[in-house]
Amino acid sequence: MDTTEEQFDAHAEAYDALYPLLDDDHPMITFIRDRLPPRCSVVEFGIGTGRVAIPLVHAGLDVCGIDLSARMLEKLAAKPEGARITTVHGSFTETRNLAASRHSAVICVFNTLFHVLQQREQARTLEAAAAALRPGGLMFLENSSAHRLVRKYPDGDAVRVHHQETGRVWLLAGVLDELRQRLDVTHIRIGGGEISPVPVSFRYVWPSELRLMAQAAGLDLVEEHGDWSGAPYDTSSRLHICVLRKPPV
Ligand SMILES: C[S@@+](CC[C@H](N)C(=O)[O-])C[C@H]1O[C@@H](n2cnc3c(N)ncnc32)[C@H](O)[C@@H]1O
């Protein structure tokens, strides 16, 4: 399972149990809603099963999304709000998959940029966002802090318990390659007489690298935070949250 598409197709069945829908008043949802005009059009890059898109719909936004994984999109379509969300099955790195200059916001959260495994393609993601935004539109990015990720793997690999209940355990076994900025994690579910491994890969991006990619794509960095309550980004931050803006004409 080498491609992101294959990895998330395999991940789709258990995704919602692991990562449930965000509450409508989750700080991420209010942070985004408070910076946008009411009922405006937003596109989520890597919309998945709608963990973020559905509460954004509840916040009154007109949400559409794009995803590489057909299985993740099927899970979204099966939900009641699925009928209110238009989706495209394809890659957000391809501008032809996105309506040009239409959206007030692009949302790319939960390390979705890190699942794009080549640096050039990550830069293309920001270029595609710039092309999809109307002038003055915003891109919201949320990624893990690269320095915190690296610290979790001081010897290059680690296994930790993600979730446990009676007779079942969910382990995360990760291998990190600092030179390639690459993290390969296998989710291992053990229980009910079965062991099921599902791999997920990341190319993590350093904040300085992300700022340069944004600048090259013609997007201005207007906010940078360490959490969705608006705390400043610093060495203690678990998250790296950026708001980028396409310059108004
Ligand atoms: C970590 S999940 C996040 C899903 C959802 N945004 C959430 O917060 O739960 C990343 C999603 O991005 C999708 N994805 C990764 N690379 C992509 C690409 N180049 N184009 C479209 N979707 C992509 C994956 O299939 C997966 O559904």
pLDDT digits (tens, 9 = 90+) for 80-92: 999 999 999 999 9
Q: Whose CA is nearest to atom 11 of ligand 1?
A: 46
Q: Outline where the chain has alpha helix (H).
A: 4-18, 27-34, 53-58, 70-77, 119-132, 146-152, 207-216
Q: Both 230 and 197 in a single domain? A: no
Residue-number span of the structural domain to which 194 is assigned: 148-202
Q: Both 67 and 52 in a single domain? A: yes
pLDDT, tens only, 14-49: 899 889 999 999 999 999 999 999 999 999 999 999
Q: Both 27 and 102 in a single domain? A: yes
Rounded CA-CA distance 172/180 in Å is 20
Question: Could you identify the atom of ligand 1 that is nearest to the CA of residue 48?
Answer: 27
Q: What is the CATH number of the domain that holds 93?
A: 3.40.50.150
Q: Both 27 and 103 in a single domain? A: yes
Average of per-residue pLDDT values in the chain: 95
Q: How confident is the model at residue 54 (pLDDT cuts 50, 70, 90)?
A: very high
Q: Is the pLDDT of residue 219 over 80?
A: yes
Rounded CA-CA distance 126/184 in Å is 23
110 lines ligand 1 (CB under 6 A): yes
**Edge-to-edge strand order for the sheet containing 157-165?**
157-165, 168-177, 182-191, 194-203
Q: Both 107 and 19 in a single domain? A: yes
The rounded Å distance from CA 190 to ligand 1 centre is: 25
Q: What is the CATH number of the domain that holds 195?
A: 2.20.25.570
pTM, rounded to two decimals: 0.96
- Based on the structure, what is the number of domains in the chain? 2
What is the structure's pLDDT at 99? 85
Question: Could you identify the atom of ligand 1 that is nearest to the CA of residue 46?
Answer: 12
Q: Both 94 and 117 in a single domain? A: yes
Q: Is the pLDDT of residue 218 over 90?
A: yes
Are 176 and 148 within 8 A, CB to CB? no
Q: Both 59 and 134 in a single domain? A: yes
What is the structure's pLDDT at 176? 98
Q: Both 10 and 34 in a single domain? A: yes
Q: Both 158 and 76 in a single domain? A: no
